[in-house]
Chain A
Amino acid sequence: MRGLFLKYVVLFVGLVGGVLIFNAALDLYFVYQENRRASIEVQREKAEAAAQRIESFVREIERQIGWVAQAQWASLPTDQRRFDYVRLLRQVPAITELVQLDREGREQLSVSRLAMDVVGAGTDRSTETAFVGAMAHKVYFGPVYFRQGSEPYFTMAVSHGARGGVTVAEVNLKLIWDVVSQIKVGRGGYAYVVDRLGRLVAHPDISLVLRGTEMNGLAQVATVLHDRDTGATLLDTRNLSGVSVLSAHASIPALGWIVYVELPTSEAELPVINAGLRALALLVLGLIIAGLAAALLARRMVVPIRALQVGAQRIGSGELGHRLDIRTGDELEALADQFNKTAEALEDSYATLEHRVEDRTRELSESLEQQTATSEILRAISQSPTDVRPVLDVVVAAARRFCGATDAAIVLRDGEELVGAAHDGPLSAWVGERRPLDRASTTGRAIVDGRTVHTPDIDALDPVEFAAAIAMAHHHKWRANLVAPMLREGTAIGCIVLRKTEPGAFTDRQVELLETFAAQGVIAIENARLFSELREALEQQTATADVLRVISQSPTDVRPVLKVVAEAALRFCGASDVMIALREGEEIVTAAHDGALHAEIGRRRAIDRSNISGRAILDATTIHIPDAAALDPRDFAGTLAMSRERGWHAALAVPMVVEGAAAGTIMLRKTEPGPFTARQIELLETFAAQAVIAIENVRLFTEIQEKSRQLEIASQHKSQFLANMSHELRTPLNAIIGYTEMMADGLYGDVSEKAAGVLERVQKNGRHLLDLINDVLDLSKIEAGQLVLALEPYSVAEIVASVLAATESLAKAKGLVLGSTVPPGLPTGTGDARRLTQVLLNLVGNAIKFTDSGSVEMRVERVGDAFEVSVVDTGFGIAPADQAKIFEEFQQVDNSSTRKKGGTGLGLSISRRIVELHGGRIDVQSEEGKGSTFRITLPIHAPSAGSAGQ
């Protein structure tokens, strides 16, 4: 109700306030305009009046002077003239000094307030503007000037006619201040006067005048001075102290001065502000009155409404007998009556409604209980995913509780038999017992027909047809029962039974309910089945993964794999034991075993069709013996003997087939006779396949190992052969070269020139052959692992020097510059100095060989723990594609130039091996046509275990 009250008040106050504000705003606007106009008008009037007074002040002085300024006056005696001047001073206080000039401009008389009076001074003042001006225009007004730097004066001169001379008066303008300072506009208004140059002539603040303040800077002064003719004015402006003012002015034509009257805008607007405050006060008053009036009105409205509200609230809260009593005689009373009628109608309908609600509540609570039961069952299902028993117990208990039976039970079908699975209640039952499935019992009938069987009174049934059922009822002391089948995909897998000791039909609701419970029982059973299937599948996969892992871990030995396979097979196929046997020629050997029965690993037997493993191997098929006793003794003599010896009665043998032939068997045995299931067979075959993979794996692995060992031996033989061969070749070749040399030297008599040429050629080719053989020998030694470094301290500088010495003549012969750069202070290295010299000789020799002009240079640097030896030439260079190949055996860059140069193509290969033996590396950078750089990176201390070929 507060809301309505507030709304009324706000509306009222808003309305009144709005009107008042609008009115006040309008009023204020007009007051402002009027006030401003009036203020300006008053100021202008004041300015005009002041201008007039100043004008008349000046004119009065002019008139007073004019009293003496007559042509004949000048010819009066001095005393008379002086007297007149003294009188003039007395009459016009503003004049401080009077001077009479004759018509030539000579000073005749001077009378002053402060200075001494002077008679007949005769000073020539004819050029002064005052004299000239007055002679020309009769009256002259000079500009404002300041005496002693501060007193404002102006000079006024009046001519006595063309022959009479001029009277010059110095007029003190401070007297104008009286005029100006007397002008009062409001409290803060004031007036001031500026001359035609904008200089301040009079101002209430005398100090401004005394300081000779220039007023040109003010906008109002500048505007008027600038546009004197257009009469432009500026009303809203600022004064010297920057205060915003309303400005009006009037000009004094005689002097060209302007009188300004200004009023601070804030003061000018004071009436407006006052009017505003009055309007505000009125507004507040109006709002208070409006508020009170609104409150009063609203109260008159709100009280009955509030009574209505209270009444409605009481009726609403259930006091339906309450009646409203409002006597306002208007719509509110009618509304109250309507409320009363509604309350009556409500009271009537409420009674019937209550009954309905009660019924509904009961139903609701029942269904709630059922839902609770359902949720209990579901919880049991979820808590016991593998075991169906607890769920069935819960289902039975719930069924008994909700269907209002004495007793409840669940019977499951197992093949052609019934098994009591769960029971709840005081009557006897046959839990765990088995009965044949037939239509004689009510349970059997429900399962067979897949329908609910309802027996209100067992004694009312046909005693013949239902003899068995009646007997059972009497035995278990029940009179009525209800059987609902538990259907899965249309087939009953069991049923749920309600029993009562007294005859009587079950209600439709009870039937419906029981069928629901039956359905839930099915769900529980299905759930358990699916769960165990899933778990089994997972376990199998795990087992397979185990087997594969063992295969990968044991590539050479099949036994661990077979052991794992045996264990897995036993675990999943579920027999008394498992045995894996492998074929070895015409025998089979027991390779793995797991289980309770006895077996002997490593036992050998001949393959023979009379026992099942032999038969499985020979036929490469699965042999399934459900019962050993049923076997034909003629066909399976071995098996029978074995069965008796080991005490098993059923067996399953699966061959492990590799490329069409069996490599062994895997066999399950059971102490009890009975067939293996299709699933067991399938599983065992899977395990057999896994065992095959392992066997194959091992076989292949062994084969590869054998092959590589043979290859290695062959390679060693080759290298050994080459080493021996080269050595054998070298000995005779040395002899050939030696003898040839001796012949050429003439040890065996003179040799003809022709013969000498031939000898030389033999010698040369022999040496080349020797080089080749040495290289091959080196390489074969390296290949055969026979090259062993003789590690010793060496000096790189010495090696470089020796190489330089050895190759100098070669370079000189080709006209090449041969040089070396070795920094001082290199450490002593450890390595095979002879071999390193060989490497460097090879590189430098190559460089000289493949360079026709330019230079070959060796450079040594220390980089960390290594020497870097580079051989730089300016030869042909090596194509990028060839750079990788040149370090291989028997590879030479194949082009005309290299062929021309000859060589074995082994040098770089040997060099590479030697450097690598030292733990270093060799590489090349080259650009065709520009030269090559071979760089050896050599550890300062070669590793001691260096041995070639590996």
Chain B
Amino acid sequence: MKRRSLLAALAASSSLAGRAAAQPAQKVWRLGMLMPDTAQALRRDIDIFKAALRDLGYVEGRNVAFEYRFTDAIAERLPVMARELVDRQVDVIVTYTSGASAAREFTDRIPIVQVAGPDPVAVGIARSIAKPGGNVTGLTIFVAEIMAKRLELLREIDPAARRVGVLLYQSHPANPPIHDRMGQTAAALGMELMPIEVRGPAEFPAAFAAWQDKKVQAVISHDHSVFALGANAQKLSALAIERRIPLLGPVDQCRNGGLMSYGVNIQALFMRSASYVDRILKGASPGDLPIEQPSEFVYAVNLRTAKAIGLTIPPSILVRADELIE
């Protein structure tokens, strides 16, 4: 009988130990994904972001949940959706381009991670790059410098180009610095800029019509996803090809039919931003996380488009191209 009770005690203790080893209930973090584009266009980038999060231990359905807000590139939706996410008290808002500024309007408490976008210091939502100080952090791209650099690139492929159209997103916070920087470069290169701010893809044809009226010889595009991703980018590229106008813009745009690109690797930024989310969820204050800048710049040339518009790309450009699309 003694032995039996001893065995029973052993069994009981082992089962207790087993139960103790069972995992405790995990907190499920809620990420507000404020995306100023369509779900379809962003699928690849979001998948990359989620994969990076998974590598850091955040698995959807287990300890992280995503609240998506796609504006479908309709500018008016951005503040509304930003407001919704703030009201739903998500743990972190992940956004890009002007999303950070929009969300910052409604909260100075919920951390906002900018995947890519204008300099938060320049647009007034961070105190400094090394120590943002508020609830916004993440990555910034040198969009003004890059757009200026695209003018230089244009000069190399078409030294005759004088009148250049600039495609901008309406009321984008980065627009003023772009105007400044591009203006300086254009002046140095003896170019004339014709910027047009659009509210969405619907206005692309009108913009091109306007540029055609002004005998624009090339168009430099802003990096907004509406100009770079999916059907919108293809539509934009088609308009340029149709008018035999070189279109220089973000890398994704080039992949979707744009002529050339000099820009940042946006996928790398999505990947990188996962680590910001991770650090914030682990308790870091967004105000303490320095804003990073991309160190990787990509030259891309769409040879198919070049051929379509009858442009010969000089070898000096080809040697430096990271990506040649055929």
Contacts and interface: CB of A to CB of B under 8 A. Distances in A.
Interface of A: 79, 83, 86-87, 89-90, 93-94, 96, 113-117, 146, 148-151, 172, 174-175, 206-207, 210-212, 288, 295
Given A83-B316, A90-B320, A149-B129, 12 more contacts: A86-B316, A87-B320, A90-B299, A90-B319, A94-B295, A113-B149, A114-B149, A149-B130, A175-B295, A206-B292, A207-B290, A295-B3
A212 B319 contact: no
Residue picked from A79, A172, A207, most chain B C-beta under 10 Å: A207
A83 to B, nearest CB: 5
Contacts of A174: 295
Contacts of B291: 150
Contacts of B297: 113-114
Contact of A150 (B10, B149, B293, B322): B293
Contacts of A210: 129-130, 290, 292
A212 B128 CA distance: 14
Contact of A211 (B130, B188, B299): B130
B295 A151 contact: yes
Contacts of B129: 148-150, 210
A697 B274 CA distance: 130
A148 B297 CA distance: 18
B185 interface: yes
Contacts of B87: none
A93 B131 CA distance: 27
Nearest to B145: A114
Contact of A86 (B128, B188, B290, B320): B320
B158 interface: no
B131 A211 contact: yes
Interface in B233-290: 279, 288-290
B293 A115 contact: no
Contact of B130 (A86, A114, A150, A175): A150
B146 interface: yes
A150 B289 CA distance: 11
Contacts of B322: 90
A114 B320 contact: no
Given A90-B320, A211-B130, A115 B145 contact: yes
B131 A114 contact: no
Contact of B185 (A116, A151, A172): A116
A79 B314 CA distance: 13
Residue picked from B130, B149, B288, B291, most chain A C-beta under 10 Å: B130
Residue picked from A86, A96, A212, most chain B C-beta under 10 Å: A86
Interface string B284-325: 000011111101110100000000000000001001101000
B293 A148 contact: yes
Contacts of B131: 211
A499 B296 CA distance: 144
Contacts of B295: 93-94, 96, 151, 172, 174-175
Residue picked from B129, B288, B290, B299, most chain A C-beta under 10 Å: B290
Interface in B134-148: 142, 145-146, 148
28 contacts: A83-B316, A83-B319, A86-B320, A87-B320, A90-B299, A90-B319, A90-B320, A90-B322, A94-B295, A113-B297, A114-B145, A114-B297, A116-B188, A148-B293, A149-B129, A150-B292, A150-B293, A172-B295, A174-B295, A206-B290, A206-B292, A207-B279, A207-B289, A210-B130, A211-B130, A211-B131, A211-B290, A212-B130
Interchain residue pairs A-B with the least CB separation, the first 9: A210-B290, A114-B145, A150-B129, A150-B130, A90-B320, A174-B295, A207-B290, A172-B295, A149-B130
A83 B318 CA distance: 11
B290 A150 contact: yes
Nearest to B299: A90
Contacts of A146: 130
Interface residues of B, number: 29
Nearest to A79: B316
Nearest to A86: B320
A89 B293 CA distance: 18
Given A87-B320, A114-B149, A207 B293 contact: no
B290 A116 contact: no
B152 interface: yes
Nearest to B119: A148
Given A148-B129, A150-B291, A206-B292, A116 B148 contact: yes
A295 B323 CA distance: 79
Nearest to B189: A116
Contacts of B185: 116
A742 B279 CA distance: 141
B148 A149 contact: no
B92 to A, nearest CB: 16
Residue picked from A87, A151, A172, most chain B C-beta under 10 Å: A151
Contacts of B319: 83, 86-87, 90
Contacts of A211: 130-131, 290
Contacts of A79: 316
A207 B288 contact: yes
Nearest to A210: B290
Given A90-B319, A116-B188, A206-B290, A149 B3 contact: no
A146 B128 CA distance: 13
A149 B128 contact: yes
Nearest to A291: B6
Interface string B103-137: 00000000000000000000000001111000000
Contacts of A94: 295
Residue picked from B279, B289, B295, most chain A C-beta under 10 Å: B295
B137 to A, nearest CB: 9
Nearest to B284: A207
Contacts of B10: 288
A83 B315 CA distance: 10
Contacts of B145: 114-115
Contacts of A148: 129, 293
B201 to A, nearest CB: 29
A906 to B, nearest CB: 114
Given A172-B295, A174-B295, A89 B289 contact: no
Nearest to A205: B279
A117 B188 CA distance: 11
B13 to A, nearest CB: 10
Contact of B152 (A87, A116, A175): A116
A75 B56 CA distance: 53
B77 to A, nearest CB: 33
Contacts of B320: 86-87, 89-90
A310 B195 CA distance: 113
Interface string B181-220: 0000100100000000000000000000000000000000
Nearest to A295: B3
A590 to B, nearest CB: 109
Nearest to B121: A148
Contacts of B299: 90
A611 B194 CA distance: 181
Interface string B138-167: 000010011011001000000000000000
Contacts of B152: 116-117
A174 B149 CA distance: 22
Given A211-B130, A212-B130, A114 B316 contact: no
A449 B148 CA distance: 161
Contacts of A87: 319-320
Nearest to A146: B130
A546 B117 CA distance: 130
A922 B188 CA distance: 131
Nearest to B294: A174
A94 B295 CA distance: 8
A172 B296 CA distance: 10
Contacts of B316: 79, 83, 86
Nearest to B148: A116
Contacts of A83: 316, 319
A116 B146 CA distance: 10
Contacts of B142: 114
Nearest to B184: A116
